Amino acid sequence: MWKVTLKGLLGHKVRFALTAIAVTLGVAFMAGTLVLTDTIKVIFDDLVTSVTRDTDAYVRSRDVIDTAFGEQRDRVDASVLGRVREIQGVREADGVLQFYAQIVGADGKTIGNPMGGAPTLGLIWNPGSLTAWRLVDGRGPTENDEVVIDRASAKAGKVEVGDTVSILSQQAPATFRVSGIATFGNADSAAGATAALFTTPTAQFLSGAVGRFDGIQVAGEDGISQRELVARITAGLADPAVQVITGERLTKENQDAFAQQLQFFNVALLAFALIALFVGSFIIFNTFSIIVAQRTREIGLLRAMGASRRQITLSVLAEAVAVGFLASLAGLLAGVGLAVGLKALLGAVGIDIPNGATQILPRTVIVGLGLGTGITVISALLPARRAARIAPIEALRAATTSTTKRLVVRAIMGVLITGAGVLALLFGLFGGGGVEAVGFGAFLIFLGVAVLLPVIARPVTRLIAWPLPRLRGTVGTLARENAARNPRRTASTAAALMIGVALVGFITIFASSIKASFASSIDQAFRSDYVIRTKGQGPPGLGGFSPALAREVAEVPGVEAASGIRFAGADIEGRATFLGAADPATATTLFDIEPRRGDLAGLGPTQIAVSTEKMRDEGWRLGQSLAIRFPRGPANLTIAATYGAGQRAGLFDFLISTEAYDLHYTERLDSQVFIKLEPDADRRVVTVRIQRVLRDYPNAELQDQEEFKASQTQQVDQVLNLIYALLALAVIIALIGIANTLGLSIIERTSELGLLRAVGMTRRQLRSVIRWEAVIIALLGTLLGMVIAGFLGWSLVHSLADQGLSTFRAPARELVVIMVFAAFAGVIAAIWPARRAAKIDILDAISYE
């Protein structure tokens, strides 16, 4: 029996190779993701460790709050440093600060932060042994107008020791003399982040933390354990406001924080790998089904000779194991290569990952081989069972068993599974089931529609292809009928493409809705003539403009008002959230946030404005006091005004005055500056004047309303393109599936195709028949995918209505492009089968006996 299995495999090399590709691609993607993230994790763990390698203890504030932008901790008073240094057992102690500081190169352009990648850091230059920074040229900063920069920035900005550079920070742009150039350990930069290192007073000034530090790094004397040191410092300081932790714990916390970010990246990529494998499973199922059908006689013969059903099933499954395992092994190897390539690619787009050994963990090998083989075997289960049901008598018939009676069962099953999927999806979106329920629901919907598809494939196929006979005559008729003749096969081939297209279409609809929502909220709220925004878009809290920019612009003749807007994390009434801050006097002339009740323009330092939606949701009332925890400590603010355009309109639910903001935050960076011109001002003249101010702020960009809208949507497009690239794999696998099915069908139809050639069909016409069949299958999958995409997009957009997603938009042009692309992809998938069909030898085909 095993000999038969082996012969079966070797006898169908091409078809198994195509099946294997479907598995290999999915496994390669998954293994590549795991290897890449494992490698990055090890590298960054090393990096994080090296930052704090010599730190035995770390002193920091005990006050930490949870906000929408993550955990935020208060700073400690600088006087703590002097007290720590006097504690017995402390060998060395340094105050540390980390803040936004962007270096402007010799060419007047900012260095770093390409595409919102690694941050641009300002730091304190500590000359002691605690720092990972090593001077390679010059000396450390001794004057307050001196700076040390990292070697990568020096290279990028063509800066040398003794040169003068401008530094952008939350203070007005200022020039510094480069006193030295440093490396981070042996690396030119700290994982791609730019670094500007200053004297302590300068760093404190630039970060708005005068007299304060983020924390204090401590090295103990030899022979004192980290725990002992922590105990001594805690006792010595006797300050309930500070917390002392060991260096080991600091390292662990930093590693965990990074691992958490990486985890998100990891899960996102693995999701795409699973999608690819899911699509691949349809191809495997189809191939095994067709092969079993083609071998009906052979299997019947084996049964007649005494093979048991079990043996037949096992024989087919053994093939699946062999194919799955070999394909997974190939995928694993390809995945390692992919990881190395991806790492190089990340480096090429400016995300500099230091060198490190590629990590191939046993887990990667086990998951890769296990999942790849497992999915192959599961996909082959049904075909194997079908093979076992073949009766010995089938050996004697040219069997085409009818499956119509099973269609009713199938229809019921399909509807039930699809229905369960819809329920799970809606529960996930609206009932608080979370992203897992959404994913599971989508999976069930795909599965359910795939089960249902053979029932409706024939009529739908005929419908899709109805104009074909008129357009292409007999060629069209043949293509249409060939696509419709085996609904089960056509259905599972189309289903694979359906999944890919549904996801592509869904993400297209989702992105369009986001863009439309952006645009409508900008149209609604934008009352100013111009906005200044940062060129690179960094994470909130990192980057922006010094408030000096808004002040300078406001003084430009012809400008009526200019006001910056800031966003910051806060804990309001126990909820991690965020708020906006602006100058209340000018805010309403610059953007329309639909003031409702109270005096928005007169918002004072102890007051807050809240959106009407939030007021309604929470049951708050005007004049009520809200308990708010800021990074610098708690405060109670009174609700003094309400406004209509909250987070649902794409803005924010809480607004405080700039004055209040300055009381509670030391990090003062405007995200955007809105500008209104005087009514009779000459736009061109004023623009030139504003641009002159912006010369000192090379990270700033002046935009009018349309440009602002375009740049917002452009960001969505960037993410969209990335997702398209990741989904491309699933679509490619589906196309391989079309090629495979057609190729197998052609083998079955050899005599029929030979007849067509004999009675006068040219090779070109025959290729055309195959191509059109592929196009019909592709369109079937695409159409169904679009329907599912529409449903997924619609429900997701509606579930996010309170997150500012106000508009559902299915972009007709893009969706038509996807359709055309799918049809064209069908043509490409048909190249190989068509060529194969055209090569059929007429004599072989007609003298089949």
Q: Which residues bind to other proteins, rule: CB under 8 A?
A: 473-475, 477-478, 481-482, 485, 751-752, 754-763, 765, 842-843, 845-849
Q: Which is nearer to other proteins, 726 or 753 (CB)?
A: 753
Supply 427's token pair. 């529960």
Q: Residues of 241-275 as b/e, b for ≥16 C-beta within 10 angstroms? A: ebbbbbbeebbbebbeebeeebeeebeebbebbbb
Q: Residue 821 CB, nearest distance to other proteins (Å)? A: 28
CA distance 164 to 193: 21
Q: Which is nearer to other proteins, 198 or 772 (CB)?
A: 772
CA distance 526 to 535: 20
Q: Residue 411 CB, nearest distance to other proteins (Å)? A: 24
Q: Which is nearer to other proteins, 827 or 842 (CB)?
A: 842
Q: Residue 848 CB, nearest distance to other proteins (Å)? A: 7
Q: Which amino acid, 471?
A: L
Sign of the four-CA dihedral 462, 464, 467, 469: negative
Q: Which is nearer to other proteins, 50 or 765 (CB)?
A: 765
In 3-state terms, what secondary structure has residue 696?
A: coil
- In 10 A of CB 594, how many CB atoms? 18
Q: Checking DSSP bridges between strand 194-198 and strand 120-124, what pairing results, if any?
A: parallel
Please spell the DSSP secondary structure of 136-159, one letter per residue.
EEE----STTEEEEEHHHHHHTT-
Q: Which is nearer to other proteins, 820 or 843 (CB)?
A: 843
How far does Cα 54 stand from its chain's mean position? 36
Q: Which is nearer to other proteins, 699 or 745 (CB)?
A: 745
Q: Which amino acid, 275?
A: I
Q: Which is nearer to other proteins, 462 or 596 (CB)?
A: 462
Q: Checking DSSP bridges between strand 575-582 and strand 98-100, what pairing results, if any?
A: unpaired
Q: Residue 748 CB, nearest distance to other proteins (Å)? A: 11
Q: Which is nearer to other proteins, 600 or 834 (CB)?
A: 834
From 455, 383, 462, 378, select the one nearest 418 (Cα to Cα): 455
Q: Residue 474 CB, nearest distance to other proteins (Å)? A: 4
Q: Residue 753 CB, nearest distance to other proteins (Å)? A: 9
Q: Which is nearer to other proteins, 144 or 765 (CB)?
A: 765
Q: Residue 746 CB, nearest distance to other proteins (Å)? A: 14
Q: Residue 754 CB, nearest distance to other proteins (Å)? A: 7
Distances (CA, A) of 569 to 62, 64, 70, 239, 768: 18, 12, 8, 26, 61
Q: Which is nearer to other proteins, 489 or 566 (CB)?
A: 489
Give the E-state strand segments of 622-699 in sequence order: 625-630, 633-643, 654-657, 672-677
Q: Which is nearer to other proteins, 348 or 759 (CB)?
A: 759
- In 10 A of CB 518, how many CB atoms? 21
Side-chain-side CA neighbours of 84 within 13 Å: the count stands at: 31
From 312, 310, 242, select the one nearest 81 (Cα to Cα): 242
**Dihedral through CA 819, CA 822, CA 824, CA 829, nearest 10?**
-160
Q: Which is nearer to other proteins, 88 or 400 (CB)?
A: 400
In 3-state terms, what secondary structure has residue 484?
A: helix
Q: Residue 472 CB, nearest distance to other proteins (Å)? A: 11
Q: Which residues contact 113 (CB under 8 A, 6 or more apart)?
A: 102, 119, 120, 194, 536, 538, 543, 699
Q: Residue 14 CB, nearest distance to other proteins (Å)? A: 24
Please spell the DSSP secondary structure of 55-85, one letter per residue.
--EEEEES-EEEETTEEEE--EETHHHHHHH
Q: Residue 480 CB, nearest distance to other proteins (Å)? A: 9
* Plot region of 131 (φ>0 → left; ψ -120 to 50 → alpha; else → beta): beta
Q: Residue 768 CB, nearest distance to other proteins (Å)? A: 11
Q: Residue 495 CB, nearest distance to other proteins (Å)? A: 22
Contact (Cβ atoms closer than 8 angstroms) between residue 588 and residue 563 = no
From 700, 611, 616, select the one nearest 650 (Cα to Cα): 611
Q: Residue 391 CB, nearest distance to other proteins (Å)? A: 21
Q: Which is nearer to other proteins, 480 or 664 (CB)?
A: 480
Q: Which is nearer to other proteins, 279 or 483 (CB)?
A: 483
CA distance 671 to 679: 26
Sign of the four-CA dihedral 500, 504, 509, 513: positive
Q: Residue 752 CB, nearest distance to other proteins (Å)? A: 6
Contact (Cβ atoms closer than 8 angstroms) between residue 81 and residue 260 = no
Q: Residue 775 CB, nearest distance to other proteins (Å)? A: 17
User: Where is 198: in which H helix or E strand?
Assistant: strand 194-198
From 276, 370, 212, select the one nearest 731 (Cα to Cα): 276
Q: Which is nearer to other proteins, 456 or 483 (CB)?
A: 483
Q: Residue 757 CB, nearest distance to other proteins (Å)? A: 7
Angle of CA points 177, 179, 180, to nearest 5°: 135
Q: Which is nearer to other proteins, 381 or 755 (CB)?
A: 755
Q: Which is nearer to other proteins, 646 or 754 (CB)?
A: 754
CA distance 703 to 710: 10
